[in-house]
A and B are shown apart, each in its own frame.
Chain A
């Protein structure tokens, strides 16, 4: 039984389909990153999961229990928001204590003056204070407990928001781009911390981001969502090396994958001298050929590969990105080279562009991945989703 499972979630706003039947399973203790471009519906999905919004159709199960009739407050799902959403009028300590107070104190015990006179509430409040301090110690924010959100930096607020979400030991943990308001250095640092906290707490986590580097580096499995469809859910390596859909291939990887229009003919794909045999039967017509930039090599002598010209070179320290244009077809092709490979290259020079055919991926007219027959060294992972 999965910790969380979504079945065919659909949602549209005024005729605009935001979610087109999303199904997803999160196993116990798993960290899943939900990644996709802005506006692909990932935040909507998270809000529906949390009970803040309703799906038009579809089901949500947490630990096998149907969540549709359960109110947001009773789902025991915690969420960290992009804006952190800390209560501005409360100190960090009070912020962290809110979910505990709402859960442990009765309605009358929460009343401002009367509540403090009722029996039993003192012990509960002591317990809450203890748990808040413990959580603060875990996240190293002890010294901030008396400050209000306005007096804290972005990184500190993010920690307080995390503490507030974790303190009540939720059954599911949702995070909506919690790092996007931090500066780049802090973000990389916070990534590691969140993964560490997740490992320690073991709460299944759904982490929404538009940053593919975050998704690939943090998650056990990555779910790629584009245009309201969940296109692929797999381990980060599989997502990168073996994308199931052209949009997945296009979205993941920096610089972006080279996509070239090719022709399918008689069970094979041809493009300027490259020929690949397809395993699946495909009607003759246009298909897409995808080659990652690291599998494009440049031959300065121009003796091998397709004739082309370097338009621009970007030096990035550990690598060099070469933007080339093919002479005959006019396609722009990006190559990722090691600095020593790029030593003799200058912008504007003629080169031979070698597209490694055995590393190429073929996508059908609707974008679905098509298998290539027996190319030497082609990846044959079974985890293809």
Chain B
């Protein structure tokens, strides 16, 4: 029998306990998704459902709300937000990290200030503006406020600062314009940063309830968390089993995407030999 050092057992136990604490709600959600209504409201706390009710709950989840529309809206909104954020932030961060211009310091201050202002502070004026432009209940109102991400600028800025200047000098001597450098040198080497940012951005906007709740009142434009709101409403009653099934459905793409991106992310970090 191989003996495992006590220290290692303790460390492992501590980590397992922590992981379990964090995973518990999710696990309980999976369990509840498989329970009948009466199962859920029993006084005992059971992890394994008495009757497996998964199929029925999932069927109800798909029937009560247009799940496909919700997921599609989520993909569209998150995709557009992420796309515009990257398109805006990469050239901006490149200019601030590597080009010398007079307003560089001012821009840095503005970015820092931008990091300090939460969406909640600007929500009302934005809402009024979208209302005046009759843009409520549209993808534009869902996407537009997030297209310029100071967080992305800040993150890429840190990443680009570490890129060797000689690489850019070489590119300029090879005949590339500044935009050419961004497209041909910066972007291909920025994948680790882009992937890392993608995780932050997509998770934040996929799960966002606050902003969609403000600008969207029609189901056709509802994002997944907003869809769950409709679910909870009067028509579904207190059907927690189906609600949990629906929650499981909308979190699954995120979990899957995160696992995939994580693999790429690690690869990205280990494969870039920037000191080339």
Contacts and interface: CB of A to CB of B under 8 A. Distances in A.
Interface of A: 47, 50-52, 72-74, 77-79, 81-89, 98-99, 102-103, 148-150, 157, 164
A82 B166 contact: yes
Contacts of A164: 170, 174
Interface SS majority for chain B? helix
A87 B185 CA distance: 7
A73 B175 CA distance: 4
Interface of B: 164, 166-167, 169-177, 180, 184-185, 188-189, 271-276
Nearest to A89: B188
A51 B172 CA distance: 9
B189 A72 contact: no
Given A85-B167, A88-B189, A52 B175 contact: no
Given A99-B174, A99-B175, A79 B169 contact: yes
Most buried by B among A51, A72, A89, A157: A89
Contacts of B272: 88-89, 150
A-B CB proximity, top 10 nearest: A150-B273, A102-B175, A149-B276, A85-B166, A85-B170, A73-B175, A89-B188, A81-B166, A99-B174, A88-B276
Contacts of B177: 73
A85 B273 contact: no
Contact of B169 (A52, A74, A89, A150): A52
Contacts of B173: 50-52, 72-73, 77-79, 99
A85 B275 CA distance: 8
Given A72-B172, A73-B174, A79-B173, A87 B273 contact: no
A102 B170 contact: no
Nearest to A72: B172
Contacts of B171: 87
A150 B276 CA distance: 6
A94 B146 CA distance: 37
Contacts, number: 76
A89 B188 CA distance: 7
Contacts of B185: 87
A52 to B, nearest CB: 5
Contacts of A47: 169
A14 to B, nearest CB: 13
A210 B171 CA distance: 25
B95 to A, nearest CB: 17
A116 B273 CA distance: 29
22 contacts: A47-B169, A51-B173, A52-B169, A72-B173, A73-B172, A73-B177, A78-B173, A79-B173, A81-B170, A82-B166, A83-B164, A83-B166, A83-B276, A85-B169, A87-B276, A88-B273, A89-B188, A89-B272, A99-B173, A99-B174, A99-B175, A149-B273
A149 B271 CA distance: 11
Contact of A84 (B174, B184, B271, B276): B276
Contacts of A148: 273
B65 to A, nearest CB: 39
Contacts of A98: 174
Given A73-B176, A83-B164, A102-B175, A88 B169 contact: no
B175 A85 contact: no
Nearest to B180: A102
A39 B73 CA distance: 58
B275 A83 contact: yes
Nearest to B190: A89
A52 B172 contact: yes
B273 A50 contact: no
Contacts of B169: 47, 50, 52, 79, 81, 85
B275 to A, nearest CB: 7
B155 to A, nearest CB: 20
B176 A79 contact: no
Nearest to B174: A99
Nearest to B187: A89
Nearest to B273: A150
Contacts of A102: 174-176, 180
Given A72-B173, A99-B173, A150-B271, 11 more contacts: A81-B169, A85-B164, A86-B170, A87-B184, A87-B185, A88-B189, A88-B273, A99-B174, A99-B175, A102-B176, A150-B273
A200 to B, nearest CB: 22
Given A73-B175, A102-B174, A149-B273, A87 B167 contact: yes
Nearest to A112: B183
Contact of B274 (A82, A88, A103): A88
B268 to A, nearest CB: 11
A157 B276 contact: yes
Contacts of A82: 166
Given A88-B189, A103-B175, A79 B273 contact: no
Contacts of B176: 73, 102
B274 to A, nearest CB: 5
Nearest to A174: B173
Contacts of A86: 170, 276
Contacts of B271: 150
B198 to A, nearest CB: 18
A85 B172 contact: no
A88 B162 CA distance: 14
Nearest to B172: A72
A210 B262 CA distance: 45
A127 to B, nearest CB: 17
A155 to B, nearest CB: 14
A82 B180 CA distance: 23
